[in-house]
Amino acid sequence: MRVALSPAARDLMAAWLADVGALRGGSPATVTAYGTDLRAFLAFQTAHQGDQLGLGPLRTLGLRDMRAWMAAERGAGVGARSLARKLSAVKAFYRWWAKREGFDATPVLSTRAPRFERKLPRPLSPDAAKALIAQVEAQDSRDWVAARDVAIVTLLYGCGLRRSEALGLTGAVLPMGDGLRVRGKGGKEREVPVLPAARAAVARYAALCPHGLAPGDPLFRGIRGGALNARLVAKVVEAARMQLGLPATATPHAMRHSFATHLMDAGGDLRAIQELLGHASLSTTQAYTGVDTARLLEVYRNTHPKA
């Protein structure tokens, strides 16, 4: 049964989401996800309290209310990782609300997220990454399309870009120099170095592209000239990895993982890699030390005489 929120609760949620989107640089997808998670939380608390929930009861939720919500989510089959994400949205809302109206939100903010095992990135080997780029180039008979696909995948691997960051580039980056300013998550900008191979790949694409690449236009174009769809990039990489017999984990994002892991293997500084990737937290970048450790343990088990 659909539970109605009070008008005051709906208005407050709308104000917070507007703040997340406008002032904090949240992407439309982030704002939508936050809204979905918070709306479900408020609906649960409304039913849990047995009446339409106004702002007063919302301010006084206790740990027992929070635990009841979390138990219901787990009972509905929500995994630990997803529940931790939902709790993060709820806490962000309460932190904003408590600061705005000056009340104590400790019971909500002190609720512990469920523990979950972080999945280690699945990078490709250097040879596999190079083979994938070569296969991408061989997949389309149209020279400009093949050059476009190679340029994108080379930027993912050579500069550690997210797929959305590469597709967000405009003609203003041409001609590409030794450095590239990228707008990442939350609208944060960072400067990344551009390897000669990446510069050459982008230059070749720009020379062959039949569509205008004015400074305000998307750099990477679809067949009809519109901005290239992210799903098409995934399909290109999927076709290449199937041709090469690579695992399903060989995705566009795996090229970014490979960039970071190969830098780590070469002795790269963790802080420097954090800046290159645009990670807000060092703990996110530290996952790559786990990849390195996992690889070392595998070598140890396979080669050590006493293993």
Domains of the chain in start order, with CATH, are: 7-109 (1.10.150), 126-301 (1.10.443.10)
- Shortest CA distance to 61 belongs to which of 75, 78, 48, 74? 48
185 is catalytic: yes
**In angstroms, rounded to a whole number, what is the distance separating the alpha carbons of residues 173 and 54?**
51
Does the pLDDT at position 208 exceed 70? yes
- Shortest CA distance to 260 belongs to which of 116, 120, 117? 120
Q: How confident is the model at residue 1 (pLDDT cuts 50, 70, 90)?
A: very low
- What average pLDDT score do residues 147-166 get? 91
288 is catalytic: yes
CB count in 10 Å sphere of residue 221: 21
Q: What is the pLDDT of residue 307?
A: 44
Residue 305 or residue 37, greater confidence: 37
Single-letter residue type at 181: R
Annotated catalytic residue within 34, 94, 157, 288: 288
295 is catalytic: no
Does the pLDDT at position 43 exceed 70? yes
Q: What is the pLDDT of residue 231?
A: 92
Q: How confident is the model at residue 298 (pLDDT cuts 50, 70, 90)?
A: low
Does the pLDDT at position 299 exceed 50? no
CA angle 125, 130, 133 (to 5 degrees): 125
Residue 31 or residue 237, greater confidence: 237
Residue 32 or residue 132, greater confidence: 132
24 is catalytic: no
**In angstroms, rounded to a whole number, what is the distance separating the alpha carbons of residues 258 and 11?**
44
Annotated catalytic residue within 185, 204, 211, 295: 185
Place of tokens 């994002």: 253
Annotated catalytic residue within 86, 256, 257, 262: 256
**Contact call for residues 154 and 227 (beta carbons, < 8 A):** no
Q: What is the pLDDT of residue 273?
A: 65
301 is catalytic: no
- What average pLDDT score do residues 258-264 get? 77
279 is catalytic: yes
Annotated catalytic residue within 148, 241, 262, 279: 279
Q: What is the pLDDT of residue 50?
A: 67
**Contact call for residues 53 and 61 (beta carbons, < 8 A):** no
Q: What is the pLDDT of residues 107-135, one digit of tens each?
A: 999 998 887 656 655 788 889 999 999 99
Does the pLDDT at position 232 exceed 80? yes
Q: What is the pLDDT of residue 300?
A: 45
* This prediction's pTM: 0.61
Annotated catalytic residue within 48, 81, 122, 162: 162
**In angstroms, rounded to a whole number, what is the distance separating the alpha carbons of residues 259 and 247?**
18
- What average pLDDT score do residues 81-94 get? 90
Helix, strand, coil percent content, the chain, rounded in steps of 5: 65, 5, 30
Structure tokens given for 91: 């806490």
